[in-house]
Structure 1
Amino acid sequence: MPPLTRRALLALAVAATLPAPAFAQAFPDRPLRLVIPWPPGGTNDIVGRLVSDGMAHRLGQPVVIENRGGAGGALGAEVVAKSTPDGYTMLLGGSGSLTINQLVRKRLPYDPATAFAPIGMIGSGANVIVVHPSVPATTLRELQAVARNANPPLNYASPGVGSTGHAAGAMINQVLGVEMQHVPYRGTGPAMNDVVAGRIQVFTNALAPMQSQIEAGTVRALAIAGPRRNAALPNLPTTGEAGFPDIQAATWYALFATGGSPPDRVQRLFTALAETLADPEVRGKLEGGGLDVEPSESPAAFARFVAEDAARWEPVVRRAGVSVE
């Protein structure tokens, strides 16, 4: 091997005196961004802010929240999909904004297969079916009778076209054999406001943003669309117990980075997420809002779950006839 030149030796000597960050900055070395593809006030917003606070503490950098509602979550997802793939931009994604949206929308401004790098699952929660107190129904069977005789038809809200709530409402129509009218909103918060005001009769959504209204009696819960009862509402029957086991709708929440982000950075984000979900205080708050905390084993394991979830929902969406031009 030829001897080092004086210039090379000098460069090595200078390099040895430089701090490590001069060679490779540790990730992250600046604030991160979490895009929540729904307006403030809904479950996505609640979950995203809880988790981002915990991750910021563990990453040593603030995580800036950016709410981008619209198009069933597609507008916010597009922001992340088209961001620089450096791990600094994350998406609070879920069954509605990703899985359902790609199944019901014929055109998306990104390729769902490559636009995102799965980080990890946060948790999931079965949807709760509620009605305004003016609806004379305390069970799903009674709602079925009321909806069949309603003139004009009852209406049901969703957080947006292509959301889990949209697909769940269509599923309820199909299973109950009724024709309720879909009214889409730009997020859970605005939809819930109109349900409480009595302008909407029926709503199906995750528990967290509805729990206080259920407890206050401003809306009436009929059933939970999952296989088991929820600890936060132990007296609320499941849809199976109510006689309609085919009504099953759970919403999951998870983090994604922009597709093509460096795997080591994705792993760093996954580790921070896992540590956050292991925090008893964070876990307690999530579970108190009706969420089953379900951390992923790894980003790869979570990627497999996302693919399997799409395969589960595809026939449901097809049978329900939910589609968006």
Structure 2
Amino acid sequence: MGTRRHILLSSALVAAALAAGHPALAQGAGDYPSRPIKFYAGFPPGGVADIVARIVAQPLGDRLGQPVVVDNRSGAGGAIGVDAVAKSPPDGYTMGFGVSGALTSSVTLNPKLPYDPRKDIEPVSTVVMNPLVLVVPTASGIKDMKSFIAAAKASPTPFNYGTPGPGTAMNLAGELLKEQTGIRMDHVAYKGSSPAATDLLGGHLKAAMIDYTTAKPHIQSGRLTALGQTGSERSSVVPDVPTIAEAGVPGYEFNSWFGLVMPAGTPKPILDKVHTALDAVLRDPAVRKQLVEAGSDPAPSTPAAMRQRIDREIAMTSKLIKDAGISLQR
């Protein structure tokens, strides 16, 4: 009897010690949250990630009952923000954006990546998909994907195409297009989509793979033609542009996305509570309208589906990066 009481007392003391170290473990999700939550956007103010984070943060905080405060700790293509989340206590009071590159291609591109997205974070849900488009000067006379492929194959020299930089989603999307069509294209790296668009308009490039938000005013003015978007489905942001798969490259798909992540070890009741709140936010018509106007498609998912996406895209981008010889080393 005494032994049994000793075991029960010891178990209670261990549980109390764990709870003292991580209050969230003691409260489950019943009292969570009891104070504001930090949200690492991963990019500077004014960019797409920051805008999307702020659109989502306020209604998410309203549903959780505490403010969700956006922090713009940024750098390394969003990796610094993910690292800040990964290294935070798993108590439910830190979350942030894991952009697709920081969770997938960075595993191969950055041998010194300070976190492992398969072990150090908990996926909550994908949040948005961001449409990328292949654009050409309207003056080129190329009107669709099939004629672009034909022109590239007929050219005695490789077409050059611009992107915001080596290893970006746009660069990888361009390399995937080369791989699946057999066309020859030389990559020209810029420090952002806008400089790439400027050189394309100036006649220095044959094409560019850039985000739709940057391309939009030039498409609307008639100076650029969008040949296709990279996702598996037409974006509600740009419904009139076919997917590259529809336009003549069956099976082509490359997605750029943001997902919500929390530190590994965050208690499941808290993860479930945040997921339920976020899912409701992303299905709210007013929020969806704001996101589409900002250039992103709402894309709620289950945590398991996001985990599967990360694993699948780590494998896919690793092969693509190695086959194309892409490197961030200068």
Do both share a fold (TM > 0.5)?
Answer: yes
Instruction: In structure 1, list runs of 5 or more residues that go unmatched.
Output: 2-22
Give TM-score, length-normalised by structure 2: 0.75
Q: Structure 1 residues 87, 192: CA separation in 2 closer, same or farther (over 3 Å shift)?
A: farther
Instruction: In structure 2, list runs of 5 or more residues that go unmatched.
Output: 2-25
How far apart are the structure 2 equivalents of 1:147 and 1:66? 47
Q: Structure 1 residues 319, 32: CA separation in 2 closer, same or farther (over 3 Å shift)?
A: same
Query: Which residue does the alignment assign to 1:119?
Result: 124
1:213 CA displacement: 4.3
Query: Which residue does the alignment assign to 1:10?
Result: none
Query: Sequence identity, in percent?
Result: 32
> One-letter code of the match for 2:184?
V
Q: Structure 1 residues 227, 304: CA separation in 2 closer, same or farther (over 3 Å shift)?
A: closer
Query: Which residue does the alignment assign to 1:9?
Result: none
Aligned length: 300
Query: Which residue does the alignment assign to 1:263?
Result: 268
1:52 CA displacement: 1.5
SS at match of 1:315: helix
1:254 CA displacement: 1.1
For residues 1-325 of structure 1, what are the structure 2 equivalents within 5 Å?
26-132=31-137, 137-144=142-149, 145=151, 154-158=160-164, 160-174=165-179, 175=181, 177-185=183-191, 190-192=192-194, 194-196=196-198, 198=201, 201=205, 202-217=207-222, 219-245=224-250, 247-287=252-292, 291-297=296-302, 299-325=303-329
1:152 CA displacement: 9.9
Query: Would you say the 8 A contact 2:103–2:310 is kept in 1?
Result: no
> One-letter code of the match for 2:285?
P
> One-letter code of the match for 1:239?
I
Encode CA deviations 1:218-273: one digit per residue, 9 max, x unaligned: 54312122344444434323323433335421222210012222333222221221
SS at match of 2:319: helix
1:72 CA displacement: 2.8
1:275 CA displacement: 1.5
How far apart are the structure 2 equivalents of 1:280 and 1:294? 13
Give TM-score, length-normalised by structure 1: 0.76
Query: Would you say the 8 A contact 1:73–1:98 is kept in 2?
Result: no
> One-letter code of the match for 1:285?
Q
Query: Which residue does the alignment assign to 1:20?
Result: none
Q: Structure 1 residues 181, 135: CA separation in 2 closer, same or farther (over 3 Å shift)?
A: farther
How far apart are the structure 2 equivalents of 1:35 and 1:147? 44
SS at match of 1:180: strand
